[in-house]
Structure 1
Amino acid sequence: MIQHLDVDGVPTLLARTGGPMRAGLTFRVGTADEPLARSGITHLLEHLALAPIGLSDYHFNGATAPVFTTFHTQGPEQDIARFLTAVCGNLHRLPMDRLEVEKGILRTEWSSRGGSAGDAIALWRYGARDHGLSSYPEFGLSMITPDDLRYWAGRFFTRENAVLWIAGDRVPAGLRLPLPTGVRQPVPAASSALPQTPAYFLNGSRAVVLDAVVRRRTAASVFADVLERELFRSLRQEAGLSYTTTAGYDPRGDGYATLRALADAPAEKQDAVLGGFVDVLAKLRVGRIEQGDLDACVAKREDFLGTAEVDAARLPSYACNVLTGERNLTVDEHRAELKAVTVADLHQVAQEAMSTALLMAPEGHPADWAGFVEAPTRSAGTVTGTAYRERDGDGELRIGADGVSYVGPGGPLTVRYAECAVLLAWPDGARQLIGHDAISMRVEPTLFDLHPEALRFVDDRVGAGRRVDLPARSPEQIPQPQPAAAPGAAAGSAPAGPASAPAVNWSAKGTVITTAVLALLVAGLSCLCTLGAALDDVDDPAGLSILIGVGWVLAVILSVPFVNFLRRKS
């Protein structure tokens, strides 16, 4: 059983284990609590708290998730006590001399991490706030100050906002948790960037992914197991289309849970995998669920509940429930709820999952034929304001009192100042506004005839608190006007939607082709004259050498536009 204790005012959970002692200190704070303009602050604080500990002979680490941050360790009793005591002290005596070093480590960590197929889903469902921030880089790192960190630690890393869990037979001797007093922090309310569900979006990953939000309950967790079993049987065993088929159930901390399923889709089988995946969902939605599948999944869970380590294994999730105020079941209560799950309950979960479904489909394989609506990649409206034309394109940038819009091929993009999550700024004058709905507006001064005060006006309307200054770009990274301009890339883009087709400037392209043809003709004539002069035994006719020289110079001049065109395209 799990015992409830208290250590220095921190709720403490203790469960016996047959293995080495391990422990964790979990706080109710994560990336979902952060504003995008200061994203990364929780992760940075976690790193700073661990930095002074350095190398040790025992295992320890930290983890920052959307709504929880945990410091955990395993080893001898005295080492666990020393580690947890040090972490609590470091959280409120942060080693600020390590600030820039740890920022650099976090940037390296982000750039080197391997992306997973479902990384973009949170952005599409929630937008650029709360639970959607897990899809974004930690934009705010460069702007986070020591005062920001002290405020964040004082608000979230308190004894009332923490739970200690220990897998062992006692609380380690000498353990102290010197945390300040505070209040338990509620889980952030989940936003939505989807006006309608079930919805889908296209992604370049070679996988089909389902993301759904369901009410948290035992039947929903069992349904995830049944869905994985059905996907494996249908897409791998029977059709041989996929190798990896998974499904999972993750409580969100607010009475709901995320249900996610994935099937990998090789390039040559993407259409078939999407069709097979949708067929499985349709089968479950209409209630075609086998009693044998339900029995097998329940039996597997009951086997786990019968192990000697079950209480120790449940400690991390048990602690999270304590922090969010959600109910913790005893092992016997778990067994009773599992046995009570019926096929009708799973059918109900399947219908709920489909009503909130967000499907990630491979690029070029829309899912509207299956009843999914395309998730929005453009804005519903535009702002009124001063219009600035694209230098090489048909688009128009509007900067108004309420926001910024790009109007051009592919539909409008709009970010209103009141709904701007972050303003990214480069020293060369470029700006990127990201709205709460994840619509992104990129403003490149090189591509528009902007008034000198236009960008300053945008900066003032957004405000310094949501601005993030980024390092200077190399000249090669700064876009320049070109004959084939991509309007969506010039002014902005949807969250992660398909790339816009380039708009071709036929007048400029025709000029380039004409000069290239003339250059070839002149070069050809010059080459013939040069060969003729070289093979002729008599003296050059008067002026032939001059004519040849002029011809080659003219050919070089005529080829310059074509060479520049090729350099811009590369």
Structure 2
Amino acid sequence: MIRQLDVDGVPTLLAPTSGPLRAGLTFRVGTADETLPRRGITHLLEHLALAPLGLADYHFNGATASTYTSFYMQGSEEDVAGFLTAVCRTIHDLPMGRLEVEKEILRTEWSSRGSAPVREIPFWRHGARDHGLISFAEFGLPTLTEHDLRQWAARWFTPENAVLWIAGDRVPAGLRLALPAGVRQPVPAASSALPTTPAYFANGSRAVVLDSVVRRRSTASVLADVLERELFRSLRQEDGLSYAIDTSYQPRGDGYATLRALADALPEKQDAVLGGFIDVLAKLRVGRIEQADLEAAVAKREDALASPEVDADRLPTCALNLLTGEPNLTVDELRAELNSVTLADLHQVVQEVTATALLMVPDGHTADWAGFTEAPTRSTHTVTGTAYQQREGDAELRVGVDGVSYLGPGGPHTVRYAECAAMLAWPDGARRLIGYDAISVHIEPTLFDLHPGAIHVIDQQVPADRRLPMPARPPEQIPQPYAAANRRQSQQRPAPAKRSWWEIPVMVLSGLATLGVGGISLLLTLSMFITDEADGDEGWLWGMVVVCWLVTVVLALPIVLLRRRRR
């Protein structure tokens, strides 16, 4: 049974375990609470808090997710107490001497993550803010200062905004959670970059992925298992089209949850997997849900609830529920909810899945034929302002008092200053404005006939806290118009090979000899056609003509070869 108590003002959940003592301290702050120019500040603070403990002998870890940050420890009572006490102390006395080192570590960590099939989905659903920020690189790392980190820690890492959970018999002796007072922070409201759903977008991944938002309840978690069984049976067992099939159900903390399903595909099987995936969704949408699948999904979850360690295993989830204001049900209440789920309940959740669906399809494919609308990749409006033409091309850039628009291939793209999530600024004058809807406008002064004051106008209109200074680019990385690029290439051509003194005399002699022999060859040829008499000597005369022309060609070769060499 889970008990709730208090440790230094931090709500604490305690449950017995037969295994080793483990504990976690979770704060209600994550990437969804950041802004794009400050993307990465929570992750950086987590790393700095753990940096002094890097050579400890016990097992510990930290994690930064979309809506929470947690610190985890497993070991003896003394180790757990020492670890959590040190974390709380270090969070508000960060080892700033390691600031640049940890920034480099985080940049390396991001670059080595690879491209998971689901990484782009939050970006497409939410845009460049709140829950969509987890798809973006940690843009804020280069500019984050000690002052920024101290302010962030003081706001979010407080006892009122934390929950401690302990899988063990008691609170470890000597544990102290010395955190400054604050307030509980609510989960940020989820924005949407999708004008309508169901929608789809194409991605370079070989997987088909369904992302949906449903009300948080046991029925939705059961549906995730039912959907996985249907996809596995159809795409793997029956048709042999897919190998990796997986579903997930993840509460968001605001009364809703994300339900996802994934099926991988070989390049030559992508059409079949996409079609089969949509067929399964259509089957569930019309209510064709197997009772056996429902019973199997409920039985699987009941088995987990029957585990002797069930309360200890539920502690991290219960801590998140307590942080976000969600109810924590007992094991008996959860079991009763599961056993009350009917096929009609599942069908109701399927309608929610369908209504909010965002489908990721492989490149070169669409899903409009199945009733999905293409997610927007261009803006529906443009701004009024001064128009600047592309130096070589038909594109146009408009700079107005309320935003900028690009009108050209793939456009229009518009970002209004009031809806600008971030502006990346390079020293050479290039700018990239990223809107809340994740549509961006990239401005290269070298490619447009911009007035010298145009960039200044943009800089003045974008709020200062949205600007991100970028490092200087090498000259070869700055785009140039086609003609300018050609001029630069011509200036970089290698110098001609060194010429020898004998080339001209040889070419003159070759030319004279060619003219002489060539003239004789021409006269002989004409005489053969003009004469009307035929005799037995005509054969050897034609042979002489052929020989003369071959000699002419040989004599002309030095001229051709030497001219090519000189060029």
- Interval containing the TM-score (normalised by the shorter chain): 0.7 to 0.9
Checking the alignment, whether the CA contact within 8 Å between 1:121 and 1:135 is kept in structure 2 is yes
Task: Within 5 Å, give how 1:430-441 maps onto structure 2.
Answer: 430-441=430-441
Tell me the amino acid that sits aligned with residue 205 of structure 2: S
Tell me the amino acid that sits aligned with residue 231 of structure 2: L
> C-alpha distance in 1, partners of 2:22/2:411?
55
> C-alpha distance in 2, partners of 1:136/1:533?
69
The residue number in structure 2 matching 1:227 is: 227
The residue number in structure 2 matching 1:354 is: 354
Tell me the amino acid that sits aligned with residue 63 of structure 1: A
Determine whether 1:190 maps to 2:190.
yes
- TM-superposed deviation, 1:483: 7.7
- TM-superposed deviation, 1:445: 1.4
1:311-366 CA-partner distances (Å, limit 9, x unpaired): 01000000000000001110000000000000100000001100000000011110
1:478-500 CA-partner distances (Å, limit 9, x unpaired): 22223899xxxxxxxxxxxxxxx
3-state SS, counterpart of residue 139 of structure 1:
coil
Tell me the amino acid that sits aligned with residue 387 of structure 1: A
Checking the alignment, whether the CA contact within 8 Å between 2:510 and 2:558 is kept in structure 1 is no
The residue number in structure 1 matching 2:55 is: 55
Instruction: Say how many residue pairs are matched.
Output: 513
3-state SS, counterpart of residue 258 of structure 2:
strand
Change (3 A) 1:312 1:398: same
Change (3 A) 1:79 1:540: farther
The residue number in structure 2 matching 1:64 is: 64
Checking the alignment, whether the CA contact within 8 Å between 1:199 and 1:373 is kept in structure 2 is yes
> C-alpha distance in 2, partners of 1:20/1:362?
45
- TM-superposed deviation, 1:393: 1.2
The residue number in structure 2 matching 1:157 is: 157
Tell me the amino acid that sits aligned with residue 275 of structure 1: G
Determine whether 1:131 maps to 2:128.
no
1:83-106 CA-partner distances (Å, limit 9, x unpaired): 000000001111111111111111
> C-alpha distance in 1, partners of 2:324/2:280?
34
- TM-superposed deviation, 1:247: 0.6
- TM-superposed deviation, 1:5: 1.1
3-state SS, counterpart of residue 445 of structure 1:
coil
> C-alpha distance in 1, partners of 2:354/2:507?
76
> C-alpha distance in 2, partners of 1:91/1:309?
32
Tell me the TM-score normalized by structure 2. 0.87
Tell me the amino acid that sits aligned with residue 116 of structure 1: A
- TM-superposed deviation, 1:534: 10
Change (3 A) 1:455 1:169: same
1:173-222 CA-partner distances (Å, limit 9, x unpaired): 10000001110000000000000000000111000000000000000000
1:55-112 CA-partner distances (Å, limit 9, x unpaired): 1110111100000000001111101100000000001111111111111111111111
The residue number in structure 2 matching 1:262 is: 262
Checking the alignment, whether the CA contact within 8 Å between 1:88 and 1:179 is kept in structure 2 is yes
The residue number in structure 1 matching 2:302 is: 302
3-state SS, counterpart of residue 46 of structure 1:
helix
> C-alpha distance in 2, partners of 1:537/1:148?
84
The residue number in structure 2 matching 1:22 is: 22
Percent of paired sites with the same residue: 71
- TM-superposed deviation, 1:13: 0.6
Tell me the amino acid that sits aligned with residue 81 of structure 1: A
Checking the alignment, whether the CA contact within 8 Å between 2:510 and 2:559 is kept in structure 1 is no
Tell me the amino acid that sits aligned with residue 286 of structure 2: V
Question: Which stretch shows the higher mean deviation, 531-540 or 392-401?
Answer: 531-540
Question: Which stretch shows the higher mean deviation, 119-128 or 98-107?
Answer: 98-107
Checking the alignment, whether the CA contact within 8 Å between 1:9 and 1:159 is kept in structure 2 is yes
Tell me the amino acid that sits aligned with residue 290 of structure 1: E
The residue number in structure 1 matching 2:121 is: 121
- TM-superposed deviation, 1:530: 7.2
Change (3 A) 1:545 1:15: same
Checking the alignment, whether the CA contact within 8 Å between 2:202 and 2:362 is kept in structure 1 is yes
3-state SS, counterpart of residue 386 of structure 1:
strand
Tell me the amino acid that sits aligned with residue 230 of structure 1: E
> C-alpha distance in 2, partners of 1:12/1:442?
49
1:234-286 CA-partner distances (Å, limit 9, x unpaired): 00000100000111100000000000000002100111110000000000111
Change (3 A) 1:531 1:477: farther
> C-alpha distance in 2, partners of 1:364/1:349?
31
> C-alpha distance in 2, partners of 1:285/1:532?
90
Checking the alignment, whether the CA contact within 8 Å between 1:27 and 1:161 is kept in structure 2 is yes
3-state SS, counterpart of residue 447 of structure 1:
coil
The residue number in structure 1 matching 2:39 is: 39
Checking the alignment, whether the CA contact within 8 Å between 1:533 and 1:540 is kept in structure 2 is no
The residue number in structure 2 matching 1:94 is: 94
Change (3 A) 1:530 1:323: farther
Q: Which runs of 5+ in 1 are unaligned?
A: 486-507, 509-525, 557-570
- TM-superposed deviation, 1:138: 0.6
Superposed CA RMSD in Å reads: 2.6
Pair member with larger Rg: 2
The residue number in structure 2 matching 1:199 is: 199
The residue number in structure 2 matching 1:449 is: 449
- TM-superposed deviation, 1:299: 0.3
Tell me the amino acid that sits aligned with residue 167 of structure 1: A
Determine whether 1:325 maps to 2:305.
no
> C-alpha distance in 1, partners of 2:459/2:280?
49
Checking the alignment, whether the CA contact within 8 Å between 2:396 and 2:408 is kept in structure 1 is yes
Tell me the amino acid that sits aligned with residue 291 of structure 2: Q
Tell me the TM-score normalized by structure 1. 0.86
Tell me the amino acid that sits aligned with residue 298 of structure 1: V
Task: Within 5 Å, give how 1:88-487 maps onto structure 2.
Answer: 88-482=88-482
- TM-superposed deviation, 1:446: 1.7
Change (3 A) 1:285 1:483: farther
Checking the alignment, whether the CA contact within 8 Å between 1:205 and 1:362 is kept in structure 2 is yes
Change (3 A) 1:23 1:391: same
> C-alpha distance in 2, partners of 1:410/1:42?
35
Question: Which stretch shows the higher mean deviation, 451-460 or 180-189?
Answer: 451-460
3-state SS, counterpart of residue 415 of structure 2:
strand
3-state SS, counterpart of residue 236 of structure 1:
helix
> C-alpha distance in 2, partners of 1:318/1:356?
27
1:3-42 CA-partner distances (Å, limit 9, x unpaired): 1011101001111111111100000000000011111110
> C-alpha distance in 1, partners of 2:515/2:374?
77
- TM-superposed deviation, 1:539: 11
Tell me the amino acid that sits aligned with residue 85 of structure 2: T
- TM-superposed deviation, 1:411: 2.9
Checking the alignment, whether the CA contact within 8 Å between 2:7 and 2:177 is kept in structure 1 is yes
Q: Which runs of 5+ in 2 are unaligned?
A: 487-502, 519-555
> C-alpha distance in 2, partners of 1:531/1:181?
97
> C-alpha distance in 1, partners of 2:205/2:475?
31
3-state SS, counterpart of residue 446 of structure 1:
coil
The residue number in structure 2 matching 1:566 is: none
- TM-superposed deviation, 1:451: 1.4
Determine whether 1:7 maps to 2:22.
no
Question: Which stretch shows the higher mean deviation, 448-457 or 134-143?
Answer: 448-457
Checking the alignment, whether the CA contact within 8 Å between 1:39 and 1:141 is kept in structure 2 is yes
